[in-house]
Structure 1
């Protein structure tokens, strides 16, 4: 977690109040952990079976595009297992050594997941380019059926995660994998139909290269997000300037400084800040309650605030 500089000096004596807030959202996350586990379990089983089927048919009937889909599916299985393990770990309570708990494991899993996507894409692109030099004939019908199975399995697996995955980078990574795979299977199906109709064998490796490029693009986007949260960047879509402005609009608050925002996990966001305040009759408790409410509206569910009360007649801070 980020370190915060509390060693700054004040030219005047101030009274300090500290406020800590936690939103109940985490207990809700724990409440749906069994549903998440079921989604991961079925997705792993279905994608493992699908990968085996596609590899056998791809090798047996000469389709590099189908083999590339199978390789990406295997990457999905590894990624889903990583994400599943990280979710289980993130539900564990904080300990004396890990005082924030294990929420960061989901961020680490998202980063590894993105790396796996990019590696799989590189393999597919290289193989596709090599095959383009010497296209091989393929048997289209088995490839079409295997690709159709890939579309159905991946769309069904993505649906298992429900509609709340967008709030959690770890689950979002899993769903991105699955939806990308559905699109990949659709491309493989179309290419197999075209090869069957035209006899142009080069369409298959060309499709494999296109699949690899699409997979790499989705992997880069996920990598950017994962690196952001692992380096304690302000999580999207939270805007630092808006948070600072919101705090400074609270009654009696002159300035908000030492504002730090970071992700405790892929679904929980924390903030620490110092608020320089002028006494206008608002109590510490009321001010902190208002701050907590405003921050929750911005998606920040864990806040630590230090109130620095200015002396009567003290000029506003520069």
Structure 2
């Protein structure tokens, strides 16, 4: 039995500027969260307090993401042979959980106000919303274009903040001209439902990666069929695909070849398979070559 490890020439460069951008966004959001809490209490606005807690959660998540994003750039060593890239993914996991818990807390405060709306100060809401749009707009610009799931989650949450403040801006203008106090808790409810829906979907993706699920854009059956159709392999089985942190994809598989296949033909087969899988976004490939009449000892081979 011939055992071969293939690694593509695809290189992933760490975005060192992203660490600095997350650090910048952390200090900006933390400062604004404090202003929001004070402003929310002064204006008696649940929508603003809702976003204040959300921003505070973002600040905590940004601090964790900042640390883990930096830590994830360490090279592989004896303790972590795959490297530390998954620590970035851990940041996305913590980020999502903090936001989900914060959203449920806010919902517990908002729902009673739907049945007993309270008067708010729309002019104060308007002022804070303008400030919020500027602050969150700067943060979004700093973090846009992130490639890791950690940066994607952080950037997406900041975009949610920007949309939330835009909604508060619109509602505050309406409240200045017409007293409809239920608009404030209703807006808070809608913002939190929207946040929960999207954060939970991100959390499912993070958990799928941690549990070594097959990446959404990869179909194992199609991969095996393509290898057989476009190479000298007689059959392909025992194929496993997973992703390290949402960017680097790994694959291991067994290729069955003719008993008479020569060394040069096997090398050509490996090169062909490597090229095919690189086109499918597979970065690291482990191939086990089996001859036609060779008995496969793995239980997966008999499945």
TM over 0.5: yes
Runs of 4+ in 1 over 4 A off after TM superposition: 279-282
Match of 1:16 in 2: 2
Match of 2:84 in 1: 102
Query: How far apart are the structure 1 equivalents of 2:9 and 2:245?
Result: 14
Give 1:228 deviation, angstroms: 0.8
Give 1:141 deviation, angstroms: 1.5
CA RMSD in angstroms comes to 2.1
Secondary structure at 2:252 match in 1:
strand
Match of 1:63 in 2: 45
Matched, 1:150 2:136: no
Q: Report the CA distance shift for 1:159/1:23 in structure 2 as closer, same or farther (over 3 A).
A: farther
Matched, 1:89 2:75: no
Structure 2 counterpart of 1:115, from 83, 94, 97: 97
Match of 2:215 in 1: 235
Match of 1:180 in 2: 160
Match of 1:285 in 2: 267
Give 1:304 deviation, angstroms: 1.0
Structure 1 gap segments, 5+ residues each: 1-14
Secondary structure at 1:148 match in 2:
helix
Structure 2 gap segments, 5+ residues each: 295-301
Asked whether the 8 Å contact 1:274–1:306 carries over to 2, the reply is yes
Give 1:21 deviation, angstroms: 0.6
Match of 2:253 in 1: 273
Query: How far apart are the structure 2 equivalents of 1:71 and 1:274?
Result: 51
Q: Report the CA distance shift for 1:294/1:307 in structure 2 as closer, same or farther (over 3 A).
A: same
Asked whether the 8 Å contact 1:252–1:280 carries over to 2, the reply is no
Asked whether the 8 Å contact 2:233–2:269 carries over to 1, the reply is no
Secondary structure at 2:234 match in 1:
strand
Q: What TM-score, normalized to structure 1?
A: 0.86
Secondary structure at 1:300 match in 2:
coil
Measured against aligned partners, the alpha-carbon deviations of 1:117-155 in whole angstroms (never above 9, x if no partner) come to 211111121111122233222111221121122223223
Asked whether the 8 Å contact 1:107–1:265 carries over to 2, the reply is yes
